[in-house]
């Protein structure tokens, strides 16, 4: 263990606290209940270090701490109350006394709780874990639902009859084998089909992606995406309610085409000619539909990906709370279904590096649309795409959301948001700079963006960063 002052200084230079690192000033003492909570929260996220005597604001000076006067006794007390060992040590830093709590990660398939609350960190706070996250933890070590067999005891011809192997080879950009043995060999290598006792078994993953008819696989039929088209801007009158019939991969192009056919059209004038354009560009539908299929929580029964088309917007939702906070959708990435995502990426349907959301936000800017709305609720993740709206018709929420997303998009591109770049995002002239400054100020007040201190206090050359950067 033996943490050195040099290690303390190295931690202090970390750009931000994260799931494995937490600083507390605790100049005199620290609340024991909070100490227990942070030990549980950090352990649930893989373990880490809780450091007392260091300010948590950059440049994180060492302020010294009088808390935990008896590290050995406190370690014993925590063990008796929490049931796992936390090693605590004192470090004599030149600027003051520092106490480091070494918190181990939880065992696989186990989550720690404090008084019945399974805790995790969210920013600088402790919050209860979501049901989805707890379900994922408790399922660790259990067989992957997608990798289990959906149909067994099949002959070669039955596999080819059930799965659209022709489209599979086309999507993989591979020549179609000259015989069925070659087809089966490829499916075996991709681990979507297994050889079992002289016959073949189709994994759920293979059926979900390649099924000619999902209804041939009863436990997967309810996983088909569903498209609902309403006559107006509310759910009062349903015009179309259509469920998908094919596997995700082999049916994806048809799904996107069907959705685009249902979208309302707007008449615009371009180069002095009138033309009809869809409510939103196809790239946004393609990226968000693929994202919803890949990131859904397949353990939730009786629920599927839904695409709801209204006269003024499109709502795309999938089962399960997001595993990445909604405010980090643009820059963050974590796949809920890794093998599903990998195969769909290799078939050119989705990407595995979060750039799909980047493209959606960028398309909203290019086509001068309101910023998409990402939110979670009722064990579902929702994205709303809005049709064209003039700047003057955008409400306060529209403008703040667009400002934050523009700031994140610029950061992802290794650039910085400025008044000018945001004006260009809204397609506004320089005479509207004051209005844009008000939007930036309001977004800052809402804690979503911050001034880039690297350029100093000059308002003329001010640049902005996402709050978490």
> How is 408-425 classified by DSSP, letter by letter?
HHHHHTT--B-HHHHHHH
Residue 99 and residue 129 in one domain: yes
Residue 381 and residue 396 in one domain: no
Give me the long-range contacts of 103-107 (CB less than 8 A, separation at least 24). Answer: 103/38, 103/39, 103/42, 103/43, 103/47, 103/48, 103/49, 103/50, 104/43, 104/47, 105/43, 105/45, 105/46, 105/47, 106/43, 106/44, 106/46, 106/47, 106/137
Residue 23 and residue 75 in one domain: yes
Please tell me the distance from the alpha carbon of residue 286 to that of residue 310, in angstroms, as a whole number. 17
| Number of other residues whose CB lies within 10 A of the CB of residue 464 | 27
Q: How would residue 459 be classed by pLDDT, with cut points 50, 70 and 90?
A: low
If 0-12 CB within 10 Å is exposed, 13-18 middle and 19+ buried, where does residue 5 land? middle
Tokens, residue 402 = 């667009």
Q: What pLDDT, on a 0 to 100 scale, did the predictor assign at position 34?
A: 93
User: In the predicted model, is pLDDT for residue 274 greater than 80?
Assistant: no
Of 292, 311, 284, residue with least CA distance to 382: 292
Mean pLDDT across the chain = 91
200, 219, 238 - which closes a domain: 219
Residue 194 and residue 231 in one domain: no
Residue 128 and residue 238 in one domain: no
Lowest mean pLDDT among 53-67, 280-294, 339-353, 388-402: 339-353
CA angle 86, 92, 97 (to 5 degrees): 75
For the chain, how many structural domains are there in total?
Answer: 4
User: In the predicted model, is pLDDT for residue 354 greater than 60?
Assistant: no
User: In the predicted model, is pLDDT for residue 1 greater than 60?
Assistant: no
Contact 67, 29 (CB under 8 A): yes
* pLDDT, mean of residues 189-200: 96
Question: Which tens digit of pLDDT belongs to each residue from 124-135?
Answer: 778 999 887 888
385, 418, 450 - which closes a domain: 385
Please tell me the distance from the alpha carbon of residue 139 to that of residue 446, in angstroms, as a whole number. 37
Residue 131 and residue 228 in one domain: no
User: In the predicted model, is pLDDT for residue 269 greater than 70?
Assistant: no
Q: For position 30, which CATH number holds?
A: 3.30.950.30
**Three-state secondary-structure class, residue 224:** coil
Residue 234 and residue 365 in one domain: yes
User: In the predicted model, is pLDDT for residue 457 greater than 70?
Assistant: no
* pLDDT, mean of residues 199-209: 97
Residue 250 and residue 346 in one domain: yes
370, 385, 400 - which closes a domain: 385
Q: What pLDDT, on a 0 to 100 scale, did the predictor assign at position 143?
A: 78
Please tell me the distance from the alpha carbon of residue 359 to that of residue 383, in angstroms, as a whole number. 14
**Three-state secondary-structure class, residue 119:** strand
Query: Whole-model pTM above 0.85?
Result: no
* pLDDT, mean of residues 238-251: 96
Which residue range forms the structural domain that includes residue 450?
391-466
User: In the predicted model, is pLDDT for residue 461 greater than 80?
Assistant: no
Q: For position 407, which CATH number holds?
A: 1.10.10
Q: What pLDDT, on a 0 to 100 scale, did the predictor assign at position 245?
A: 96
* pLDDT, mean of residues 276-300: 91
Tell which wins on pLDDT, 158 or 467.
Answer: 158
Question: Which tens digit of pLDDT belongs to each residue from 68-93?
Answer: 999 999 999 999 999 999 999 999 99
Q: For position 326, which CATH number holds?
A: 3.30.565.60
Tokens, residue 247 = 């596997």
Residue 195 and residue 234 in one domain: no
Q: What single DSSP character describes residue 62?
A: B
Residue 214 and residue 254 in one domain: no
Contacts of 254 (CB under 8 A, 6+ apart): 246
Contact 26, 32 (CB under 8 A): no
Residue 370 and residue 262 in one domain: yes
* pLDDT, mean of residues 451-468: 80
User: In the predicted model, is pLDDT for residue 239 greater than 90?
Assistant: yes
Q: How would residue 144 be classed by pLDDT, with cut points 50, 70 and 90?
A: confident
Q: What pLDDT, on a 0 to 100 scale, did the predictor assign at position 469?
A: 82
Query: What are the two backbone dihedrals, phi and then psi, of residue 437, each rounded to the nearest 5 degrees?
Result: -60, -35
| Number of other residues whose CB lies within 10 A of the CB of residue 207 | 25
Question: Which tens digit of pLDDT belongs to each residue from 171-183?
Answer: 999 999 999 999 9
Q: How would residue 270 be classed by pLDDT, with cut points 50, 70 and 90?
A: low
Residue 214 and residue 235 in one domain: no
Please tell me the distance from the alpha carbon of residue 337 to that of residue 413, in angstroms, as a whole number. 27
């Amino acid at each position: 263990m033996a943490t050195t002052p040099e290690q303390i200084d190295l931690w202090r230079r970390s750009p931000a606290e994260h799931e494995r690192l937490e600083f507390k000033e605790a100049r005199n003492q620290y609340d024991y209940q909070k100490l227990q909570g942070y030990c549980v929260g950090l352990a649930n996220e893989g373990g880490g270090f809780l450091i007392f005597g260091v300010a948590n604001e950059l440049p994180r000076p060492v302020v010294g701490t009088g808390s935990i006067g008896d590290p050995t006794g406190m370690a014993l007390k925590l063990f008796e109350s929490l049931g796992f060992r936390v090693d605590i040590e004192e470090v004599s830093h030149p600027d003051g006394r520092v106490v480091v709590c070494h918190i181990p990660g939880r065992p696989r398939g186990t989550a720690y709780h404090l008084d019945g609350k399974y805790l995790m960190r969210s920013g600088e706070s402790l919050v209860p874990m979501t049901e989805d996250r707890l379900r994922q933890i408790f399922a660790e070590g259990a067989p992957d639902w997608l990798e289990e067999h959906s149909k067994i005891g099949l002959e070669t011809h039955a596999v080819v009859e059930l799965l659209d192997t022709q489209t599979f080879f086309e999507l993989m950009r591979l020549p179609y084998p000259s015989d069925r043995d070659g087809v089966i060999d490829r499916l075996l290598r991709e681990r979507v089909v297994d050889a079992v006792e002289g016959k073949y078994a189709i994994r759920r993953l293979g059926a979900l992606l390649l099924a000619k008819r999902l209804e041939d696989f009863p436990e997967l039929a309810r996983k088909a995406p569903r498209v609902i088209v309403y006559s107006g801007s509310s759910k009062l009158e349903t015009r179309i309610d259509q469920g998908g019939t094919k596997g995700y991969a082999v049916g994806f192009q048809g799904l996107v085409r069907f959705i685009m056919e249902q979208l309302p059209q707007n008449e615009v004038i371009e180069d002095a000619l009138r033309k009809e354009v869809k409510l939103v560009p196809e790239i946004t539908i393609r990226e968000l539909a693929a994202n919803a299929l890949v990131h859904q929580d397949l353990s939730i029964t009786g629920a599927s990906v839904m695409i709801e088309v209204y006269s003024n917007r499109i709502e795309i939702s999938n089962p399960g709370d997001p595993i990445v906070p909604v405010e980090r959708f643009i820059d963050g990435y974590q796949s809920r279904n890794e093998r599903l995502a990998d195969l769909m990426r290799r078939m050119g349907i989705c990407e595995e590096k979060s750039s799909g959301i980047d493209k959606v936000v960028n398309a909203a800017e290019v086509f001068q649309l309101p910023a998409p709305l990402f939110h979670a609720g009722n064990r579902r993740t929702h994205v709303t795409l809005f049709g064209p709206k003039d700047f003057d018709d955008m409400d306060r929420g529209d403008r703040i959301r667009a400002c934050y997303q523009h700031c994140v998009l610029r950061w992802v591109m290794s650039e910085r948001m400025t008044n000018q770049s945001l004006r260009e995002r809204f397609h506004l002239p320089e005479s509207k700079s004051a209005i844009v400054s008000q939007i930036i100020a309001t977004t800052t007040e809402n804690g979503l963006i911050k001034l880039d201190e690297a350029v100093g206090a000059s308002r003329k050359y001010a640049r902005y960063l996402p709050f978490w950067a």
